[in-house]
Structure 1
């Protein structure tokens, strides 16, 4: 009974399309969420090579100018808890997925992990993909860590091995998988 009550009280996830005035918040949330989960990937726990190519005003402003990119603030109730970025026309190289949507970034603040918000966010992104007429989604995830098991539970399959494209990352942590899910 208690679990049911907690579930009923959990705020609904909203994907808020990013507007230029929200870029600062997007960068702040993205950087903090990344730091909450991925410092182990970097020597001296310094993720600046990734942050500097993903979460600066200049980078995000440039990405917003490309209609192929969609950026979102993730909100639970009245609180912003993370960010997402999808790319409309990026097929996985050398693989055939029907009408795919690439889920490039899904980052939730550490304080909101393990509470069902990740599942709700992913389901909202699946709904978005279907609304866009997409028949599949794909994403990259680290080989190590909890995310892989989460995506398997959500119906994703390993399509192939990949690597974090930063040579200066900790070598034994660079392993990734390209995962995909085809909608029925």
Structure 2
């Protein structure tokens, strides 16, 4: 399956697909963060046509849908230039979102996605890739297995997230 994975840069005709995949994947993995499982705040800030139009205007933002053969199975959001600690905007790439539908988890898509992002980083002469991960759950060990190290403690930026679920780590991988 790994060899059939494609990364398609988002185009307007794929907005509905991106919104559908992002909403479904987020709700499959993160409803436990929200009172009564109500993810509306996050969805409205991440997966609407208005949000995508704004993100497309930003020269630093690159959005992708992940495809296996004819099936869309996930998405990526990359911020090409973003300062991190001692690294300048020119030296750091931020992996803002990596969401994969639950039914495709554990099939090498996440690892292939990280390789794809690393290739983009190297092509842009980046010295570091960074991202944020929940402190609880399966994402943290996955990133650590792929050479990401804890660089700082952060938290989910939305006030209405359940307090005990807010803790996150900022992880970085030196290239």
Which bin holds the TM-score, normalised by the shorter protein?
A: over 0.9
Superimposed CA distance per residue, residues 89-136 of structure 1 (whole angstroms, 9 cap, x where no aligned partner): 2112xx113711000000000111112111111111111111122121
Partners of 1:82 and 1:34 in 2: CA distance: 10
1:71 alignment partner, one of 63, 69, 81: 63
Superimposed CA distance per residue, residues 126-158 of structure 1 (whole angstroms, 9 cap, x where no aligned partner): 111111221210000000000000000000000
Larger Cα-atom Rg: 1
User: How big is the shift at 1:174?
Assistant: 0.4
8 A Cα contact 1:11 1:77, kept in partner: no
User: How big is the shift at 1:12?
Assistant: 2.6
Partners of 2:37 and 2:161 in 1: CA distance: 10
Partners of 1:171 and 1:63 in 2: CA distance: 28
TM-score by length of 1: 0.90
Aligned to 1:113: 105
8 A Cα contact 1:86 1:105, kept in partner: yes
Structure 1 residue ranges, 4+ long, deviating more than 4 angstroms after superposition: none
Residue 30 (1) aligns with residue 22 (2): yes
Question: Unmatched 5+ residue regions in structure 2?
Answer: none
Partners of 1:102 and 1:146 in 2: CA distance: 20
Question: Unmatched 5+ residue regions in structure 1?
Answer: 1-8
More deviation, 52-61/122-131: 122-131
Aligned CA-pair RMSD: 1.2
Q: Residues 98-177 of structure 1 correspond to what in structure 2 (within 5 A)?
A: 99-177=91-169
Aligned to 1:6: none
Superimposed CA distance per residue, residues 144-176 of structure 1 (whole angstroms, 9 cap, x where no aligned partner): 000000000000000000000011001100000
Superimposed CA distance per residue, residues 59-106 of structure 1 (whole angstroms, 9 cap, x where no aligned partner): 1111101111100011122221111101112112xx113711000000
8 A Cα contact 1:23 1:61, kept in partner: no
Partners of 2:71 and 2:3 in 1: CA distance: 9
Aligned to 1:87: 79
